[in-house]
Every structure is written in C-alpha cells, then in structure tokens.
Structure 1
C-alpha cells in the first residue's frame, strides 16, 4: 500500500515528463555516504540518493529518491525512504509553473507516511553562468499524512490544504566547488501544522565525475505526533558520481 501511494503521488507530479521528453538527455548523480542523525533517530548510518534532471527549452524535470537504514544486533534502529518529483513549464524568460509531489516513510518519526502534492508559480530571479542561480517559488496543494498511532485531535489521518514556499540557491565557488542551499516550508491552511526543511551542502570535485559532499539537513514539524521530536537533523559526508 505504501509503495502504491508513492507511485500515485509521484506519477501525478511527473506526468508531463513523457510528453516533454523529446530526447533522452538526462543528467544525474548517485550518492553514497555516512549519515549522522539527531531527533527521533540518533544514529550513524549509511545513506543512498539518486537524483535526475532533464531540461529542454520549455521544460525542466527533476526526480529524486533517497534512503537511510541502520541495523544493530538484529534490530532496525533507523529506516527512512523518500521520493519526490517536480516538473516545471517555463515561460516568459525565467518564470515557470511547477507541479510537485513528495512521499516519505520514516519509521521513527511518529508518522506511518507523509505525502503532499502542490502546484504554483516559480521565478529564477538571479542567474550567473551555468551553475549559479536563485529560484523562488510559491504555490498551494494538498497534504495527506498517516500517523503510526491515532492522534487525539486528528485520528488516524492528517489531511488539509497547504501553502508551499521554497527557495533553491546554487553558487559556484570555483570550477570544481559548489555551494547549495535549499529551503522549503509547507503551511497547513486549516490545522496550521507547518513542515519546514532546510538543506545546506558543499561539494567539490575529486577526480573525473567523482565529488565529495558535506551536507547538513534540518526538518521541523510544528505540530509533531505525540512522543515525537519536532526537529530532526542530518549531517552527512558522501561521495557523488555524476553522469
């Protein structure tokens, strides 16, 4: 059932990929590293990530999947899976319309799963060269989360209309080094539960298509499930392979 929900949400967000994909020119990166977490799961574990980008004159399509898993003495101590897809329809210079879907299954967050689908307007407000830019976007959508245990206020499910604000900043420090900052917040317009995510990273080329990456990620849930921490952090050191 979880896999089915994930496929439905990501399919809704990425259906224009087939229509816009006039060629097979995709770029991507595969990532493997060590992840240190605090909050609902305090562990050192392995992380994996795959990200794909396809861009044409009119469309920009992004897909990402990530996971983290740790097992100690035959007991699972951390388990997290996440997928997201976004497609952008570009118009009038650097402006675009976006459609986005995300799904996350974090075994120790108090949620059985979290999911959302949003659409709205974005603008590349600054660009310098091929690697430095600032994208800002705003939109509305729908959130559907299932709790591990029934909540006294919401029951088994939390569903509501949400507003989404996001920013993505890339800055090329040199030909071989890149600073990246991503920030997003999804605000519940009925129950006022706000989920904010920030990821700061620095990556540098090592040799050929291999790079090293240092990243710090923070997730804050303003109205977290009972007996769950509101803030989770992840610090990671990983190797990237670009293709």
Structure 2
C-alpha cells in the first residue's frame, strides 16, 4: 500500500517538471494569514501556501503546497498538510489532456492520509485576456486513503477507482481585482464515498506584487470515518505575494 501512495506523491512532484527542457512563463505566489475553521476543528490558525505554475505552447503545469498548524497550551489542536500537482497537454487552443495527483494529511480528519491520481479531458470553454477563463474537466483515476483507526470491518484503508469532475472560473474584475470559484467532486466507483470541495476567493492588489485575499472553502465527505463530521469549512484572510 505504501507503494501506491509513493506513486501519487511522485506524480505530484513530476508535474511541474514536465517539458522542463523548454523555456516557459513561470508564475509563483506565496500567501500567509489567519484561518478560522469549523467542523472537525474549531480554532483560529496560521496557514501558509505556495503555488507555482508555468505555461508552454503545448504544456501547462501547476503545483501547490499548503500547511496549517495551531498549538494551544502546548497541545496541537490543528495540523494539516496538502500537496497537489497537475500537468496539461494542450492539443488545441482550448482542449487538453490532464494528469493530476493530490495528497493530504489532516491530523483531525480521521484519516492518516488521503491520496488520489486522476487523468482525463479538459476544456477552457471561455477565455478573455490573461486572467479570465472558465474551464471544465472530467476523468478517471484511483484513490487510496489510510484510516487512523480500523473501521467496523477491521479495515484500515479505503481504496477505489474514482470519477473526477471539476470546474474553475476566474474573472478579472479589474486590473487590480480577481474573483475565483473552484469546484471539484471525486466519486468512488467501488466504495460509496464522494468527496467534494469548493473554494470561493476574492483578491485585490494592495501595492506592487502584494495583494489581500479573502477565501471560503468547503470540503464534504459523504461517508467520513466514524465520529467525524461530513463537512469542514475554512474562512481565511491572507496576504498574497506574487513573484
């Protein structure tokens, strides 16, 4: 089982390196701020995120890493680490094939870790300028989640073929403000568990490359580990620096 998880992590790391022999436009951003959560954890936390993307004539690569950690009276009350990567092969101006890997370790979710690998088809249905677009994608893949404790059947892991559906809408309100909506759903084809995530964000330039960002995130697990909530929410206000 460890090998399956290693494959997912390897794909995440490989995505930003696709076609590295060619030169492309590289965009990076770093954000840090305060996070307020509800659900399995109800705390105020400090969170950080690093995202890297580059664009080639035929390839588009993205990688993202995030973490949050809170301690109260020398006791950890929230701890989460996430990594995901995706590479797109653009076979015409709008359409592309994608390969995506994701990994998450949330200490209070009931899972030791969650991981998935998916591949499929995507389309930028609408695009305007450098920042505004609407894309949709669908594909098939594999999910492997390890539980903190064995379930009622004595199993300590969940694995299944999955179908993934996702969409992202970015709209440049002005040259200093951007609205973003991301939605994704991964449906288990062999075990009855659907994981859906949503992120709604608004960012505005403060000065130079520094922006203020407000975001609301929701994660829903239809069949979570015993004793855990189905829905977690995050409300964050962060400073974002692009370079």
TM-score by length of 1: 0.95
Residue of structure 2 in register with 1:20 after alignment: 19
Post-superposition CA distance 1:167-200 (Å, at most 9, x none): 0100011110000000000000011200000000
Residue of structure 1 in register with 2:52 after alignment: 52
- How has the CA–CA distance of structure 1 residues 163 and 40 changed in structure 2, closer, same or farther, with 3 Å as cutoff? same
Structure 2 unmatched runs, 5+: none
Residue of structure 2 in register with 1:107 after alignment: 107
- How has the CA–CA distance of structure 1 residues 107 and 64 changed in structure 2, closer, same or farther, with 3 Å as cutoff? same
Deviation at 1:50, TM superposition (A): 0.2
Superposed counterparts of 1:175-194, under 5 Å? 175-194=175-194
CA contact (8 A) 2:34 2:45 kept: yes
Residues in 2 aligned to 1:132 and 1:6: alpha-carbon distance in whole angstroms: 35
Deviation at 1:218, TM superposition (A): 0.1
Structure 1 unmatched runs, 5+: none
Residue of structure 2 in register with 1:231 after alignment: 231
Residue of structure 2 in register with 1:155 after alignment: 155
CA contact (8 A) 1:124 1:136 kept: yes
Residues in 1 aligned to 2:12 and 2:47: alpha-carbon distance in whole angstroms: 25
Deviation at 1:10, TM superposition (A): 3.3
Deviation at 1:9, TM superposition (A): 1.6
Residues in 2 aligned to 1:166 and 1:127: alpha-carbon distance in whole angstroms: 17
Post-superposition CA distance 1:70-91 (Å, at most 9, x none): 0010000000000000000001
Superposed counterparts of 1:71-86, under 5 Å? 71-86=71-86
Residues in 2 aligned to 1:214 and 1:13: alpha-carbon distance in whole angstroms: 26
- Give secondary structure in 2 for the equivalent of 1:173: strand
Residues in 2 aligned to 1:170 and 1:135: alpha-carbon distance in whole angstroms: 9
- Give secondary structure in 1 for the equivalent of 2:150: strand
CA contact (8 A) 1:132 1:169 kept: yes
- How has the CA–CA distance of structure 1 residues 40 and 162 changed in structure 2, closer, same or farther, with 3 Å as cutoff? same
Q: How many residues align?
A: 242
Deviation at 1:11, TM superposition (A): 2.2
Residue of structure 2 in register with 1:122 after alignment: 122
TM-score by length of 2: 0.95
Residues in 2 aligned to 1:45 and 1:37: alpha-carbon distance in whole angstroms: 8
